[in-house]
Structure 1
Amino acid sequence: MQFFGECFVTFFTNYGYDKILRVAGRHFRDFLLSIDQLHDSNRFSFPKMKSPLFHVTEEDENGAVLHYKSKRRGFQQYIIGQLRACGHRFFKQEILARVQDDLSSNECNHIVFRLDFNNTSGSKTKRIVPNPKLSDVTSSTFFKVFPFSIVIDARMRIHHMGDSIKEIFPVGTVLIGRHFDDVFRLIRPDIVLEWNRIISHGRHIVFVIENRIPLRPNASIVAKKFGASSNAQLRLKGQMKTVLAWNMVVFLCRPM
């Protein structure tokens, strides 16, 4: 199965899809952190594709721990072959991969891989110049710059919401103070929506959420204006950023 995984990398390279992988990042760890985004970027070309989920939970100078989830079973060696081929072909790295744990259930296949590779250059970002010291901005300015944003407190309750997001819900809908999971459904990554998990994963994972509660009656106009794929659903994609001064997390997103 590892051989077939390596062959698949050669196959899609011959059809030009290697260009997508080559812009995933400078290092192999950048590629690992963007696998889900690479799959997501192909959803319009292959609308019926049911892609697996990947996310990194730990990394050090000697490699990383990668979680793989899929409805399909028996593909862990195939995935190892793909990872080794991508590392060798695109990043000139020899990847040692092994199954560290099997957390599969009746619902899905969940495999934890330990990947050993030289991760020193990726885990320590070198800057040509030091970070400039920027002056603080007011919250009103911040939310003008990021109209698609959601502020979440440590209890996972919505503290503030950008005007562009509030506009898609019916007038009078109570959003502030509600639990985040009451209003939105987490699509990616496949993790439990808890404060500690968001803090630990939010540094390098792209989150995708979808509304649970109904949109405005004229959602056919409003939602499509913001990129909704249907009258009833709007998906938002972005990253969770910790604001230490507020002790909160800001979901900076955009419509998909």
Structure 2
Amino acid sequence: MPPTAGASFARFVALGDSQTEGLGDPDGHGGFRGWADRFAAMLGAANPGLHYANLAVRGRRAGEIRAEQLEPALAMRPDLATVVAGMNDILRPRFDRDALLADIDAMFTALTGLGTKVVTFTFPDIGAVAPFARPLSARVHTLNADLRELAARRGVTLVDFEPVAAAHHPRAWSDDRLHLSPVGHNIVARALAAALTVPGADDTWRDPLPPLTSTLVEKLNTEVRWTVQFLAPWVGRRLRGISSGAGVEPKRPQLLPVLT
């Protein structure tokens, strides 16, 4: 669905998991900023009086996002909402594609039915970011194709990150390779601003990032460190059934003014 040039918004609500919450992008005060906060600031500069809520919670799968965040979001009657879900689903050994798509479609349908402008995006290939995750690449490609189809059917604006090289670049990802870095969150925020033709936005978010140079030994050492520091603990939590979002509440559960 093509963006509306110069569109104005008064209430923006973000639904999702850790990426929307902002993990990987410290705010300097013990919390996280993230692409949604960055995008809200850009949007607020062009929409004085904009109010923004972020209901996202790390570790949430699509069904949990729908169950926990959709009703509060609808109650806020947003004129703009972002819905980003699915990565936590495809990382699980037991992946129910039909259930995932039903949950995402239900959120798209409910929000657009309210007259809300809905934005979503595809995911970079995590196999290109973390070599050990390459067996999941096919799931990512399939989910992205499904998201394109659902977005087109429901009139949802979709930003397609899958073919953009910068989205796969190591600089765009934090050390854990599961969350965007400040660079990556900035790319996403600028991409959404461009998709909605926010004044001052452009397509430079697509520009290639500088290449990294490292020897084979350095690359192998990096993989070993990542396995020990991040992959092993993540697998351990999954085996114990512990979610990273246990006990975590949304960081911005109410519509509040965006200070620009």
TM-score range, shorter chain: under 0.3
What TM-score does the superposition give when structure 2 sets the normalisation length? 0.26
Which structure exhibits the higher relative contact order, with contacts defined as CA atoms closer than 8 Å and separated by 6 or more residues? 2
What TM-score does the superposition give when structure 1 sets the normalisation length? 0.26
Structure with the higher fraction of residues in strand conformation: 1
